[in-house]
Structure 1
Amino acid sequence: MRTVLLLIICLCLLSCSNDDNLVSITENDVLNFSDILSIDFENLPNYSNQVIPSYITKDNTTFGSNITDEAATLGRVLFYDKQLSSNNTVSCASCHKQEFAFSDNLQVSNGVNGVTGRHSMRLVNARFSDETRFFWDERAETLEVQSTMPIQDHVEMGFSGENGDLNFGDLISRLESTNYYPALFNLAFGDTTISEDKIQLALAQFIRSIQSFDSRFDEGRSLVNNNGTPFPNYTQQENLGKQLFMQAPVFNNQSQRIDGGIGCAGCHQAPEFSIDPNSLNNGVIGSADNSGADVLVTRSPSLRDVVKSNGTANGQFMHIGVSSNLVTVLNHYDNINLAGNNNLDPRLRPNGIGQQLNLTQDERDAVIAFIQTLAGSDIYTNNKWSNPFND
């Protein structure tokens, strides 16, 4: 009986596709879906109509890429499918793990032909930013463009089409040969044609659906009128940390802080805690493979869920995975070194001199306590962002 119901649901969904074409899904197809995928096609997860707080206003969704449940479901399958790597060993989720807010617990990630050059950036709340470009060096114009670049990278997923690698056409042929991808593409887009554009759209919609707004920060922000007001659900220490984070510092002519906060929100804009698109390098210019200075890094993921609520880090910090300890991050910003960096953000070099924040221990502890309040809980366990494959 369940098989018949699944068949009816899938056919009904397909009949409402973009071009009203109906492609049959046989009863055997539905059975195979059940064998391979744990998705309930009678009741697709809600990706398209999730609750977003009214104070969240930044959004980098590309025109024509609004989330649908069907396309995001396809994106979820693609995100976790190791067939998207040339040797069937690596998926997007191999480097962006749900239990680490879709980052990696390794300093650099393992690809099919070596290790990645930079740490895998967290994908939580990737949508909620004025920044439309992606990768640490912003080389991808949009999330859609970014989504297939790792697939076509020789080291990461191996479909580069160069130096003996398979090409993207080989990947499309591989997906076409499965008994479920043509039907899933039809469900998402109204026909069974598989293309890079559709893969990009589906992956981007799934990634944009990954959101975290159930933190103690969100609880407090819902009780007040603005980010700067003390939150009634915070401790005195957490409110001090928030104040320090939000307020700009006051420097003397030697770039030593003499008053104010520490200015984190100048680049990590609240309440999304996303990166200001105009930000330049943050002063970390090392390379993971010690190959030389890397001053092109100007992007950052949202600071939401940079750590869990208990302070446990969601993987390594910065593009080189410099540490998993917020103390080292604060130490870096406490005393900025200009040496060898021609791309340092002006906010970190007042008067042309690297800032010296002169943080006290109480201030450090307060800022760390505040950052912990940016962590939610749903993102780590919600099934709609989990691996849909039964194995």
Structure 2
Amino acid sequence: MKKCVYLLSSIVPLLLVSCHKDDDEYQPVDPFANTKAAFGDNIDPDNLYNYAGQTVPGYITKDNSGANPITDKGATLGRVLFYDVNLSSDNTVSCASCHKQEHAFSDTDVASTGVNGTTARHTMRLINTRFSAETHFFWDERAVSLEQQTTMPVRNHGEMGFSGENGDQSFDDLIVKLGNIGYYKELFTWVYGTEEITEEKIQKALAQFVRSIQSFDSKYDAGRAVAGNDGPPFANFTQQENQGKDLFLRPPVFNQNGQRINGGVGCAGCHRIPEFDIDPAAKNNGLIATLRGIGTDMGNTRAPSLRNLVKADGTLNGPLMHTGQFATLEDAIAHYNVITADGNTNIDPRLIPGGNGQKLNMTQQEVSALVAFLKTLDGANVYTDVKWGNPFK
């Protein structure tokens, strides 16, 4: 008598049969048994969400994926890793604890809570991180790629606690921990062909998931698709929104004292349309405060895309800047309206025309118009799309 075990799986292209001599029963072995037990219908290896083939408007040309393009399998594994509290030393914190889908993958708290304290800077939104010419990440650009960035919070003592210092376990301990979890044995084999877990594999999967988070269903995108370029008024915009767009696009004209005497306010010089990504050459934006209010923090030169700053009801997706000190768009605009450059050795030269801190002298009408335009950059789908949601729920 033979007992044959059938392995039916998308992991391998062939039907594998293991036969034993005790009986004639045929017992199929499910290679995703642990995955199904953990996630139910939230993850179906045979019916994956579309991460790799999402529609991207033709006018979006920047892409920092490099040698790690998005795949449906890789992003699915990345989604699990992103939401898994097992990546923290005490099983309480995941990437999603600070980057919350309902807030455009940011945090409404000024400082996010980790396993051993709070973050040193406000949590940056993760919208459209793929569509940027800037390949460095974090406010101070200390990560040279998104891949490197993904595990740096895991290795941080305060955030996720696998630093290998201050009594923490090491990242190698995390790899052993994940290797003992059944669904990771299955998912890493499915994605990489072997259940071996490495930091590089974790980084690639997380980066693919984060890059998949995109937002192009805004009022701005609807207008841009019809207009063909950003210059003319958009037919679907109000007069106020078009005025704000013009102010955002046109550079200011300054006198010798740094006072604006004509032109727009020049936001697009650093926040470049249509991706609204930060210019890689940008330096400090004039804000050198720290989140703790002690000392200075002049090394911050990166910013997230300006898309999805606000929700449909106009509320912010979290306070603004690395300090989280601005609670409204008007507050942020007021900062740029009058720039003080004293003591800032890293300030962007575009903010100090003629060596003086810029004074845009914006009227209330101009401020309101610019706010109205910035609100057109909000899309709706990113807040609710299941493929970016928590697979453990």
> Could you say which TM-score interval applies, normalised by the shorter chain?
over 0.9
Q: Which residue of 1 aligns with 2:175?
A: 172
Cα distance in 1, alignment partners of residues 256 and 327 from structure 2:
33
Deviations 1:211-256 (A, max 9, x none): 0000000000000121111100000000000000011000011111
- Is it true that 1:52 corresponds to 2:56 in the alignment? yes
Aligned to 2:37: 35
Distance of 1:76 and 1:369 partners within structure 2? 33
Task: Find the aligned partners of 1:204 and 1:222 in 2 and give their Cα distance.
Answer: 28
Q: Map residues 52-91 of structure 1 onto 2, 5 A cutoff.
A: 52-63=56-67, 65-91=68-94
Question: Is 1:334 aligned to residue 337 of structure 2?
Answer: yes
Partner residue in 2 for 1:187: 190
Against the structure 1 CA distance between its residues 22 and 323, is the aligned structure 2 distance closer, same or farther, given a 3 Å change threshold?
A: farther
Number of residue pairs aligned between Structure 1 and Structure 2: 377
Distance in 2, matches of 1:382 and 1:225, equals 28
- Separation in 2 of the partners of 1:58 and 1:350? 29
> Shift of residue 23 of structure 1?
12
Paired residue for 2:385? 382
Describe the SS at the equivalent of 1:220. helix
Q: Distance in 2 between matches of 1:323 and 1:336?
A: 15
Work out which of the two has the higher radius of gyration on C-alpha atoms and give 1 or 2: 2
Asked if the contact 1:125/1:211 (under 8 Å) is kept, the reply is yes
Question: Quick one: distance in 2 between partners of 1:315 and 1:285?
Answer: 20
Identity %: 56
Contact 1:160 1:168 in 2 (8 A): yes
- d(CA) in 1 for partners of 2:29 and 2:57? 42
**Aligned positions of 1:197-236 closer than 5 A:** 197-236=200-239
Is the CA contact (8 Å cut-off) linking 1:245 and 1:261 kept in structure 2? yes
For the 8 Å contact 1:238–1:370, the answer to whether it is kept is yes
Contact in 2 for aligned 1:310/1:372 (Cα 8 Å): no
2:105 maps to 1:102: yes
- The one-letter code matched in structure 1 to 2:140 is D
Asked if the contact 1:210/1:385 (under 8 Å) is kept, the reply is: yes
2:128 corresponding residue in structure 1: 125
Deviates more, 1:304-313 or 1:155-164: 304-313
Question: How big is the shift at 1:22?
Answer: 8.7
Q: Is the 8 A contact 1:21 1:191 kept in 2?
A: no
Unmatched 5+ stretches in structure 2: 1-6, 19-27
Q: CA deviation at 1:35?
A: 2.8
Match of 1:15 in 2: 12
CA drift of 1:373 comes to 0.3
Shift, 1:352, TM fit: 0.3
Alpha-carbon distance in structure 2 between the residues aligned to 1:22 and 1:309: 52
User: 1: distance between equivalents of 2:45 and 2:201?
Assistant: 20
Q: Does residue 139 of structure 2 align to residue 142 of structure 1? A: no
What is the Cα deviation at residue 291 of structure 1?
2.1
Q: CA deviation at 1:21?
A: 12
Partner SS, residue 15 of structure 1: coil
C-alpha distance in 1, partners of 2:285/2:254?
A: 18
The within-5 A match list for 1:215-294 is: 215-294=218-297
Q: TM-score normalized by structure 2?
A: 0.93
Q: What is the rounded CA distance, in whole Å, between the counterparts of 1:52 and 1:28 in structure 2?
A: 36
Residue type of the alignment partner of 2:36:
S
- Tell me, yes or no, if the aligned pair for 1:23 and 1:186 is still in contact at 8 Å: no
TM-superposed deviation, 1:28: 6.1
Give a deviation string over 1:257-303, Cα, whole Å, max 9, x none: 11110000000000000000000000111101122110000000000
Superposed CA offset, 1:154-211 (max 9, x none): 0000000012100001100111101110110111112111000000000000000000
- Shift of residue 29 of structure 1? 5.7
Q: Does residue 1:316 correspond to 2:316, yes or no?
A: no
SS in 2 for 1:259: strand
The counterpart of 2:349, out of the listed 324, 346, 350, is: 346
Whether the 8 Å CA contact 2:88–2:160 is kept in 1: the answer is: yes
Asked whether the 8 Å contact 2:35–2:186 carries over to 1, the reply is no
Distance 2:60 2:278 in 1: 14
Could you tell me which runs of 5 or more consecutive residues in structure 1 were left unpaired when the two chains were aligned: 1-6
| Structure 1 range deviating more: 285-294 or 132-141 | 285-294
Match of 2:51, as an amino acid?
Answer: Y
**1:62 Cα offset (Å):** 2.3
Is this contact kept in 1: 2:81–2:87, CA < 8 A?
Answer: yes
**TM-score of the aligned structures, taking structure 1 as reference length:** 0.94
Contact 1:309-1:373 at 8 Å conserved across structures:
no
Whether the aligned pair in 1 keeps the contact of 2:32 and 2:186 (CA below 8 Å) is no
Q: 1:3 is matched with which residue?
A: none
The whole-number CA distance in structure 2 between the counterparts of 1:340 and 1:123 is: 31
Cα 1:358/1:23, change in 2 over 3 Å:
farther
The code of the aligned residue for 1:34 comes to K
In structure 1, give the amino acid aligned to 2:146: L
In the alignment, is the contact (CA less than 8 A) between 1:306 and 1:375 conserved in 2?
Answer: yes
Do the aligned residues in 2 keep the contact of 1:21 with 1:190 (CA within 8 Å)?
A: no
Letter of the structure 2 residue corresponding to residue 138 of structure 1:
E
2-structure distance, mates of 1:103, 1:307: 11
